[in-house]
Amino acid sequence: MENNKKLKIGWFSFTCCEDSTILFTELLNKDYDEWKKVVEFRHVKALKTNNTLDDLDVAFVEGAISGEKQLKEVLEIREKAKYIVAIGACACTGMPSSSRNQFTDEQINEKIDWYLKHFDYSDKVKKLEEVIKVDDRVEGCPMSIPVFMEILTKYLKLFNII
C-alpha cells in the first residue's frame, strides 16, 4: 500500500430501489478509513457533488436500464471505464424492475400508459448486459456483501494496488 496508487471507481444507479447503494454507503461507515488509502471515489453521487466520469478503473452499476437517457449515460460509462461490475438484481437480471415487460396490452391502463409516455421510458426495461459489456456481477437484492468485497479485492489486486 506504499505506492500511493488508488483504484479509480465510480458508483452509478439506474432503475432500482437503490438498496445496494445504501449497503455501499453503510460499508463506508466501517471501511472508509482503509478504503480511502486505496480507492479514489471519482463518481459517487451518494457521497459527493463534484463527480467525474473520466479515467475510471471500475464502474459499479446498480439498476436496470429503462429509458433512452439512461441508455446514453450507461454507454458513456462503459466507454470511460476499464471494467463494469453489475450490482444487484435489477442490473444482473432486470428483475424486479423489468416486471413491467410482462404487461399485456390489456393490463396497460391509462395511468400506466401515461407514465410510460411522460417519463422517457423505453418499451422494455433491460438488464445491464443487454446494453453494455459487463465484466463482473454482484447479484442479490440487495447485493451480496461478501461477493462485493471479493470483487473489490479482485480489482485492487488486478491494478497492483494491494
What would the grid cell of residue 114 be?
401515461
Question: What local confidence, expressed as pLDDT, does residue 121 receive?
Answer: 86
Residue 1 has pLDDT above 50, yes or no: no
Question: What local confidence, expressed as pLDDT, does residue 106 receive?
Answer: 80
* CATH code of the domain occupying 7-156: 3.40.50.700
* Contact (Cβ atoms closer than 8 angstroms) between residue 62 and residue 88: yes
More confident residue, 12 or 111: 12
Tens digits of per-residue pLDDT, 67-121? 999 999 999 999 999 999 999 999 999 998 888 888 888 887 887 778 778 887 8
Bridge partners for 85 per DSSP: 60, 136
pTM for this prediction: 0.92
Tens digits of per-residue pLDDT, 36-73? 999 999 999 999 999 999 999 999 999 999 999 999 99
Report the interhelical angle of 145-158 vs 19-38 (nearest 10°): 30
> What is the dihedral angle through the alpha carbons of 59, 63, 65, 70, rounded to the nearest 10 degrees?
-60
Cα separation, 107 vs 74, in Å, equals 30
Question: Average pLDDT for residues 132-141, to the nearest whole number?
Answer: 97
Question: What local confidence, expressed as pLDDT, does residue 3 receive?
Answer: 65
For 8, residues 6+ apart whose C-beta sits below 8 A from its C-beta are 40, 42, 55, 56, 57, 58
